[in-house]
Structure 1
Amino acid sequence: MSKPLALQIGWRFLRTRTSNGFVSFISLSSVVGITLGVAVLILVLSAMNGFERELRDRLLAVVPHGELVAMDGNLEGWPELVADAASEPGVEAAAPFVLIEGLLQRGDVMKPVSLRGVLPQWERQVSAAAQFMDEAAWQSLEQDEPVLVLGQALAQSLSVSVGDRVSLLMPSAGDNPLSAPRNVVFTVSGLFDLGGEIDRTAAFTNMARAADIAGLTAGASGVRIKVTDLFEAQQLVHNIGYRQAQYLLLSNWTRTQGHLYSDIQLVRMLTYLVLVLVVAVASFNIICSLVMSVRDKQAEIAILRTMGMSRGGILASFMVQGAATGAFGCLLGAIIGSLLAWKLSDLMAWIESALGINFLSGDVYFIDFLPSQLIWQDVVSVSLLAFVVTLIATWYPAWQASRLHPAQALQR
Structure 2
Amino acid sequence: MKGPLALSIGWRFYRARQSNSFISFISFASTAGIALGVAVLIIVLSAMNGFERELEQRLLGVISQADVVGVNEPIADWRAVEQTALQIEGITAAAPFIRMQGLVQKPGGFQGLAVVGIDPEQEAKVSTLSQFMSPETWQSLSEDDNHIVLGESLLKKLGLEVGDTLALYVQDLDPEHAGSLRAAKSHRFVVSGVYRLGGELELTTAYIPMRYAANILNLHQGVTGVRISVTQVFEAPAKIRELGYALNQSVYISDWTRTQGHLYQDIQLVRTIMYLVLVLVIGVACFNIVSTLVMAVRDKASEIAILMTMGLSRLSVMGIFMVQGALNGLVGCALGGVIGIATAINLSAIARDIEQLLGIQLLSADVYFVDFLPSELHMADVSLVIATAFVMSLIATLYPAWKASRIGPAQALAGR
Instruction: Pick the TM interval, shorter chain.
Output: over 0.9
Q: Tell me how far apart the structure 1 counterparts of residues 362 and 106 of structure 2 sit (CA, whole Å).
A: 31
Q: Tell me how far apart the structure 1 counterparts of residues 181 and 94 of structure 2 sit (CA, whole Å).
A: 38
In structure 2, the CA distance between the partners of 1:84 and 1:106, relative to structure 1 (3 Å rule), is same
Partner-residue secondary structure (3-state), 1:16: helix
In the alignment, structure 1 residue 251 sits paired with structure 2 residue 254? yes
> Residue 31 of structure 1 aligns with which residue?
31
Q: TM-score, normalised by structure 2?
A: 0.95
In structure 2, the CA distance between the partners of 1:217 and 1:379, relative to structure 1 (3 Å rule), is same
- CA displacement at 1:2 relative to structure 2: 9.3
> Residue 271 of structure 2 aligns with which residue?
268
Q: Kindly indicate whether the alpha-carbon contact (under 8 Å) linking 1:54 and 1:371 is maintained by their aligned counterparts in 2.
A: yes
* Uncovered stretches (5+) of structure 2, i.e. residues with no partner: none
Out of 189-198 and 270-279, give the one that drifted further. 270-279
Partner-residue secondary structure (3-state), 2:4: helix
> Residue 243 of structure 2 aligns with which residue?
240
Q: Kindly indicate whether the alpha-carbon contact (under 8 Å) linking 2:237 and 2:254 is maintained by their aligned counterparts in 1.
A: yes
Q: How does 1:376-387 map to 2 (within 5 A)?
A: 376-387=379-390
Partner-residue secondary structure (3-state), 1:308: coil
In the alignment, structure 1 residue 350 sits paired with structure 2 residue 353? yes
Q: Kindly indicate whether the alpha-carbon contact (under 8 Å) linking 1:110 and 1:158 is maintained by their aligned counterparts in 2.
A: no
- CA displacement at 1:202 relative to structure 2: 1.1
In structure 2, the CA distance between the partners of 1:9 and 1:134, relative to structure 1 (3 Å rule), is same
Out of 151-160 and 290-299, give the one that drifted further. 151-160
> Residue 134 of structure 2 aligns with which residue?
134
Q: How does 1:148-163 map to 2 (within 5 A)?
A: 148-163=148-163
In the alignment, structure 1 residue 216 sits paired with structure 2 residue 219? yes
Q: Please point out which of 230, 234, 255 is paired with 1:231.
A: 234
Q: Tell me how far apart the structure 2 counterparts of residues 119 and 88 of structure 1 sit (CA, whole Å).
A: 23
In the alignment, structure 1 residue 110 sits paired with structure 2 residue 110? yes
Q: Please point out which of 326, 330, 355 is paired with 1:327.
A: 330
In structure 2, the CA distance between the partners of 1:411 and 1:214, relative to structure 1 (3 Å rule), is same
In the alignment, structure 1 residue 93 sits paired with structure 2 residue 93? yes
Opposite residue 144 of structure 1, the aligned amino acid is D
> Residue 398 of structure 2 aligns with which residue?
395
Percent identical residues: 51
Opposite residue 215 of structure 2, the aligned amino acid is D
Out of 239-248 and 19-28, give the one that drifted further. 19-28
> Residue 303 of structure 1 aligns with which residue?
306
Q: TM-score, normalised by structure 1?
A: 0.96
Query: How many equivalent residue pairs?
Result: 412
> Residue 12 of structure 2 aligns with which residue?
12
Q: Tell me how far apart the structure 1 counterparts of residues 168 and 378 of structure 2 sit (CA, whole Å).
A: 47
Q: Tell me how far apart the structure 1 counterparts of residues 97 and 105 of structure 2 sit (CA, whole Å).
A: 23
Q: Tell me how far apart the structure 1 counterparts of residues 142 and 107 of structure 2 sit (CA, whole Å).
A: 28
- CA displacement at 1:366 relative to structure 2: 0.6
Out of 243-252 and 292-301, give the one that drifted further. 243-252
Q: Kindly indicate whether the alpha-carbon contact (under 8 Å) linking 2:84 and 2:247 is maintained by their aligned counterparts in 1.
A: no
Q: Tell me how far apart the structure 1 counterparts of residues 230 and 382 of structure 2 sit (CA, whole Å).
A: 31
Partner-residue secondary structure (3-state), 1:67: strand
- CA displacement at 1:272 relative to structure 2: 1.9
Q: Tell me how far apart the structure 2 counterparts of residues 251 and 275 of structure 1 sit (CA, whole Å).
A: 37
Residues 254-313 of structure 1 deviation map (CA, whole Å, 9 limit, x = unaligned)? 001111111111111112211221111111110011011001101100111111111111
Opposite residue 336 of structure 2, the aligned amino acid is G
- CA displacement at 1:86 relative to structure 2: 2.2
> Residue 374 of structure 1 aligns with which residue?
377
Opposite residue 130 of structure 1, the aligned amino acid is S
Q: Tell me how far apart the structure 1 counterparts of residues 383 and 23 of structure 2 sit (CA, whole Å).
A: 30
Residues 67-96 of structure 1 deviation map (CA, whole Å, 9 limit, x = unaligned)? 100013511222201221122110010011
> Residue 412 of structure 2 aligns with which residue?
409
Q: Tell me how far apart the structure 2 counterparts of residues 108 and 217 of structure 1 sit (CA, whole Å).
A: 36
Q: Kindly indicate whether the alpha-carbon contact (under 8 Å) linking 1:148 and 1:205 is maintained by their aligned counterparts in 2.
A: yes
* Uncovered stretches (5+) of structure 1, i.e. residues with no partner: none
CA RMSD in angstroms comes to 1.8
- CA displacement at 1:107 relative to structure 2: 7.9
